[in-house]
Amino acid sequence: MIVTAIERGAHLIADHLEAVVADLNITQAEAHVLAQLDHSGATAIGTLHHDFGRKRSTLTNVIDRLEQRGCVRRELNPADRRSFVLHLTADGQVTAAAVTAALRRLEHDLDSLIEPGDAAAVARVVDALARVARSSDSSPSTP
């Protein structure tokens, strides 16, 4: 029941963002990367991979498209020269701000409908889901 609710929530968030991403000519995945960069600032690609739980090749394709559109730029990570950090460009900041504004409106609307503590409970469930997903990634697959 929890997984079904989370899946439904993810689809409803996507539906809510559909008009925004269409107007900005970006995909849902690109919107979420831009919003994360808008929220966190320059971020290592490995951190984005960890936060989103996407296949590396999928995330790389998203980043490649954002870079081609001039929304992000990659720089060598000064802390680990084998990896890259993503930065929003000026155009990327404008696009990210539009996505972030849409997500903030959604959060504001939700806050008026839920009980105190509900948001924290959802965050705990998603954190637990992330732990389960990570542990299943490292466990051997069964035939």
pLDDT in tens, 52-77: 876 778 899 999 999 999 999 999 99
The confidence score (pLDDT) of residue 133 equals 79
| Residue 118 and residue 97 in contact, taking contact as beta carbons nearer than 8 Å | no
User: Distance of alpha carbon 103 from its chain centroid, rounded?
Assistant: 11
Query: Residue 79 pLDDT more than 90?
Result: no
Whether pTM > 0.75 for this model: the answer is: yes
- Model confidence pLDDT, tens digit, residues 91-133: 999 999 999 999 999 999 999 999 989 999 999 998 898 888 7
Helix axes 118-138, 2-24, angle to 10 degrees: 100
Cβ contacts of 51-55, under 8 Å, gap ≥ 24: 53/130, 53/133, 54/29
Q: Are 35 and 100 in contact (CB under 8 A)?
A: yes
pLDDT for residue 40 is more than 90: yes
